Every structure is written in structure tokens, then in C-alpha cells.
Amino acid sequence: MHNNNDSSDDDLDTEVEMVSLLNSGEPSSSSKYRSESPSKEGQSAMQLSISIVISFVGAGILGLPSAFSKSGILLSIVSLTGVAAASVYAMLLLVWTRKKIEESGKPCTTYGDVGEHVLGEFGRNLVDFCLTLSQTCFATAYVIFISSNLQNSFGISRFLTCALAIPGLSSLVNLSSLKKLSPFSLIADFANFAGLSYVLASDLSTLTVSHPQITMWDSAYFIHVLGVSVYCFEGVGLILPLEASAADKDKFPKVLCVVLSAITGVMLFFGCLGYAAYGADVLSPITLNLEGGRGDLVKVCFCVGLYFTYPIMMFPVNTIAETRIWGDNAPKNWKFRTSVVAMTAVVAWGVDDFGLFIHFVGSSVCMILGFILPCYFHLKVGGAGLTKWEKHLDWGLIGFGAVFGSMGTFDSGAELLGLRR
């Protein structure tokens, strides 16, 4: 059995290092972030904004145009905006809940700490399991993306791509610290930004010569666009470490709301523009619609970016899993880490639909982490002190996550297993 306080400190160290790495800085000790008062050593509002952008703008955005084409422009806008608003609300609930627990005299720094306070050891295990599962799914989606794009551009079989990815990714995930991943993070951020910029430019160029028929509303695909939207906004696992890294924590809610509102606007523009450019022919990811030498180069950029993002995503997975299995002081287990990489590659080889996979992940584990658990923890910690509308809103989001999450998981899972097309 490991000591929970030590484990909590290790979790925060890892998470704050990830935030520092996302901000292209040197991973730092978490001790300087413990104070609730403004600190010159924490991230400024601008640095925090950059960290939030990098944390939330990922590969999921490339699946939005296809999702928009299925459900229609108007329904997609309503769904994505609603999910964004609900996600921000749930994230702020988690921040409030953590502070409330600390005010009671109990240390609370991570999502897992909140879960343990509310549900005991089961709560910590549940949160840790969901976080590691979601991170592993995100990493798997990257391999699906890479294999699909290389097959699309160069005719390389998906099996070969997945098999050849294992040795290199295994080497990267076996690096001893996040600090050693910093150069790869810079490469990934640059490649992803360059790729997104070109896709937008390509969509605008295509739109001037193509005028496909546009659907406004198709409720038959509401569950699909909902799952993809939840996937795009699933970053609740980094909210508490992002707050911990802020120099002025009182400004964190405002910065979070402003930045995520801007990100929502970008995602809406990206999804609508991609659908308007290619109509019903838009693919998931939209990079599969790019043609010619420049299109191939952009696909390679994204593949490089996501390849080097993979080990960053898997770092907390390995840290949590190894601590749970072998204890706090156990050295990294290269056999375990390599086997996890191989498992993600096998799943990526078996799943050939990027959009369907992120729909499944968004509807399942992301619904639990993003909506159900934060609202439930808020209800339990707030108790009688909550207003009637807060309780109704919390239970409403819990019901929303449970009902539509179950429907989306069943729907996408059946398709992934080939039970329905």
C-alpha cells in the first residue's frame, strides 16, 4: 500500500510538470504553486492562456467538419456551444469543490484527491482509472490518425504503420522524465499549428470554387456530434494543475472562461468552414480531403506532431499505473510501458474510423470525467449550502451525461464492433 499524501504530491508534481511542458517551459517543482496568494513564480495570465489553448486544441478538432456534415450546421453549432458551456461550468465546479475541501482543513490538490474526499479510496481509484483510460484513448486516436493519413497519401498499409510505430514510441515513453520530452513538445506544437493553419487556408480556397449542398439540421446524428464535441472539450484532468500553476489564482476562472470561449469560436469556425468547403464528402479527419504535394506535406506535419505528442499523453498513464502496481519508489518498467504502446497500436490497427473512435471516447469516459463526476462531487461537498438551482443544474448535467453518454457509447460501440453500420 502506498501513502496517499505522498501519492498526492507525486500526482501534482507530474501534472504541474505537464502544464509547464505544454507551455514550452522547463518542468518545475510543484511546491511554489501551493500558495493561494499571487506568486511571481507562477504562470502569468498570458502563459496560462497559452497552456489552456495547447491543452484543449488537439486532434479532435480535425473530426468536427465531418461531425457537422452529419448533423447539420445549426444543430452542430447548438451542440458544440452547449457542450462548451457545460464543460466550463463543470470545470469551475471542480475548482470550487477543491477549495471547499481545503477550507475544511484537508489537503486537496488533484482530481484524485477530490474523488478520495467524497468517495474514499474507491473515488481516487475511479478518477485515476478514468484519467488513465482517457489519456490512453487519446494516444490511441493519434495512432489511428497517423495510420489513416499515411495510407491515404502514400498507400502504406495501416498494419505496417502501427507495427513500425511501436519501437519509436516505446523508446519515447521510456524516457525517465517529462523534461526530456520538452524538445519533442516544441516540435509537436509547431507541426500541429502549421497543419491547422494550412487546413483553414485550404478550406477557404476550396470554398471559393465548390458550393456543396449544406444540411442545417439532422437530429438522427445528434448523438454523434455530441460525442465528438465532448471529446474536443475533455481537459478536466488538467484544470486543477492549471489552476495550481497560476500566479494569481483568483483570476483563473475568468482566464479559463475567456480562453475557452475563444477556443469554442475557433472550433465552430473550423467545423463550419470544413463542412462548407467539402459538403457531405468531408472525411474524418478532414486532412484526408487534402490532395497534392502540399496536402501530403500537411498530413506528414500532423503525423509528426501527434507522434511526438503521444509520449506526453502517456506519461501520466505510466506514472499512475506503475505507482499503483509496484508502489511509489518503483523504477519505470520498460516492459509494461512497451506493452501499453503495443496495445494502443493493436487497437489503432483494428479501428479504421477516426471520427467513430473519438465519438466513442467522448460518449464514454469523457462524459464521466467531464460532467458526471464534477457535478456529483460538487453536490456531495456543497451539500445543504447549495441553492436549489445549483442542485437542479448539477443533477441535470449528471442525467444528461448518463443518458446521452450511454446512448452514444452503445451506438458507437456497436459500430466499432461491426454490429451495425
pLDDT at 359: 97
Alpha-carbon separation of residue 299 from 152, 198, 326 (angstroms): 9, 10, 40
Rounded average pLDDT over 253-279: 97
Cell numbers describing residue 303: 503525423
How does residue 15 score in pLDDT terms, banded at 50, 70 and 90? low
pLDDT at 14: 55
Rounded average pLDDT over 250-277: 96
The shares of helix, strand and coil residues in the chain, as percent rounded to the nearest 5, are 80, 0, 20
CB distance 234 to 61 below 8 Å: no
18-27, 335-344, 360-369, 392-401: lowest mean pLDDT where?
18-27
Judge whether residue 19 has pLDDT over 70.
no
Judge whether residue 13 has pLDDT over 60.
no
Cell numbers describing residue 183: 524538445
DSSP class per residue in 135-170: HHHHHHHHHHHHHHHHHHHH---HHHHHHHHHHHHH
Fold for 4-416, please state it: Amino acid/polyamine transporter I (1.20.1740)
Report which of residues 326 and 275 the model is more confident about: 275
Instruction: Dump pLDDT digits (tens) for 175-205.
Output: 877 777 788 888 888 999 999 999 999 999 9
pLDDT at 24: 42
CB distance 404 to 226 below 8 Å: yes
pLDDT at 409: 97
pLDDT above 90 covers a percentage of the chain that reads 72
Rounded average pLDDT over 58-84: 96
Alpha-carbon separation of residue 361 from 220, 311, 381 (angstroms): 19, 19, 28
pLDDT at 112: 92
Report which of residues 25 and 275 the model is more confident about: 275
Report which of residues 7 and 44 the model is more confident about: 44
Judge whether residue 384 has pLDDT over 50.
yes
Judge whether residue 12 has pLDDT over 70.
no
pLDDT at 184: 83
The CA angle 233-315-241, to the nearest 5 degrees, is: 55
CB distance 168 to 338 below 8 Å: no
Classified as helix, coil or strand, 43 is strand
How does residue 72 score in pLDDT terms, banded at 50, 70 and 90? very high
Q: Which residues pair with 139 in a beta bridge?
A: none
Alpha-carbon separation of residue 16 from 206, 214, 337 (angstroms): 41, 44, 22
- Which residue in 241, 233, 242 sits closest to 261, CA to CA? 233
Rounded average pLDDT over 328-353: 91
Instruction: Dump pLDDT digits (tens) for 28-43.
Output: 333 333 333 344 468 8
Distance from C-alpha of 403 to C-alpha of 421, rounded to nearest angstrom: 22
How does residue 412 score in pLDDT terms, banded at 50, 70 and 90? very high
CB distance 56 to 233 below 8 Å: yes
Q: What does the domain layout of the chain look like in residue ranges?
A: 4-416
Rounded average pLDDT over 318-346: 88
pLDDT at 17: 57
Instruction: Dump pLDDT digits (tens) for 128-159.
Output: 999 999 999 999 999 999 999 999 999 999 99
Instruction: Dump pLDDT digits (tens) for 73-119.
Output: 999 999 999 999 999 999 999 999 999 999 998 889 899 999 999 99
pLDDT at 8: 53
pLDDT at 11: 53
Q: pTM score, two decimals?
A: 0.90
